[in-house]
Amino acid sequence: DYKPDQILVSCGGKQSFFNLCQALLNPGDEAVIPAPYWVSYPEIVALTGATPVMPYAGPEQHYKLKPEQLERAITQRTRLLVINSPSNPTGMAYSRAELEAFGQVLRRHPQVFIATDDMYEHCQWRGGPFCNIVMTCPDLHARTLVLNGVSKTYAMTGWRIGYAGGPAWLINSMTDVQSQSTSNPASMSQAAAEAALAGDQSCVSRMCRAYEERHAFVYGKLHSMPGVRVLPADGTFYAFPDFSAVIAKLKLADDNALAERLLNDAGVALVAGSAFGARGHLRLSFATSMQNLEAAMARLQDFLRTKGV
């Protein structure tokens, strides 16, 4: 539970994270951001003069950082660890046991603050019920900021409402930062978010079931495509296939070049994995209709077939 002076409502999750970094980090500090990561994390950290440290977790470990990797990434200059679960872009979620292992590492490094980005909390269908590091390691509560919002749970991205819960000293500093930028979110957005949070929640489970069904379709299609390596996601509305073999077969420079070819030649828009710290990958969103997804998968299959992959 959080008291009013431990909560700050901002213009989306991005501003919440920006406020955190501006309040917490200084030049010379380091922030551990496991890769693949949401594209804005490193840039927002860098704006403070701190250094983003981005250990990579590849498909062989289901895109999830191991505790020994976390231990190696932490130095005396480390001030922040960012955990995003379920993850944008991979869709993977950390289990309770995996978070407990992180907790064992973090207890040895009391100078490290933790940001848990729970934006996809209500969109998880595999790996057990949702949990974050505060739920798993309550003794780390005073060192953790929980980030969330209405954008993904209620499909309200344009309303720009995010919120953060954490220790009062940090929320007070974040409030000072926000007071010199946006002051507060628009009042009509706050009213809309309140209505969503206090209203009938049946839409949340319906949307999650729909995303799970679309994920099953997209995963099945991608899994059957030659040269494409993809793992089933635990949640979110993203697939994150590895197209490295396709890139090599077509003699393309990188995943950016493949994304451009798919857009221009097939009319399918995917985001290059390099933006998320994962070369050779492409991110696909299935937060659209099945009709659109069926057309997109057919176009992608035709592209690979005509290119001789």
CATH class of 202-306: alpha beta
Q: Please name every residue paired with 263 in a beta bridge, in sequence order, or none if there are none.
A: none
- HEC profile of 52-78: EECCECCHHHCCCCCHHHHHHHCCCCE
Q: Are 199 and 217 in contact (CB under 8 A)?
A: no
Would you state the pLDDT for residue 151?
Answer: 97
Residue type, position 287, single letter: A
- Domain range annotation of the chain: 4-198, 202-306
279: which residues sit within 8 A by CB, 6+ positions away?
244, 254, 255, 273
One-character DSSP codes across 203-252: HHHHHHHHHHHHHHHHHHHHHTSTT-B----SBTTEE--B-HHHHHHTT-
Strands (E), 134-177: 144-149, 162-165
DSSP 123: -
End-to-end Cα, the chain, rounded Å: 53
Q: Mark the ranges of the chain whose per-residue pLDDT is less than 50.
A: none
pTM of full prediction above 0.85: yes
d(CA 205, CA 120): 13
Would you state the pLDDT for residue 74?
Answer: 99
Give me the residue label for tokens 């901002």.
Answer: 10
- Write out pLDDT tens, residues 143-192: 999 999 999 999 999 999 999 999 999 999 999 999 999 999 999 999 99
Residue type, position 51, single letter: T
Would you state the pLDDT for residue 309?
Answer: 87
CATH class of 4-198: alpha beta
C-alpha count within 13 angstroms, C-beta hemisphere, residue 72 = 9
Residues 234-272 as b/e (b if ≥16 CB within 10 A, e otherwise) read bbbbbbbbbbbebbeebebeebbebbebbeeebebebbb
Would you state the pLDDT for residue 150?
Answer: 98
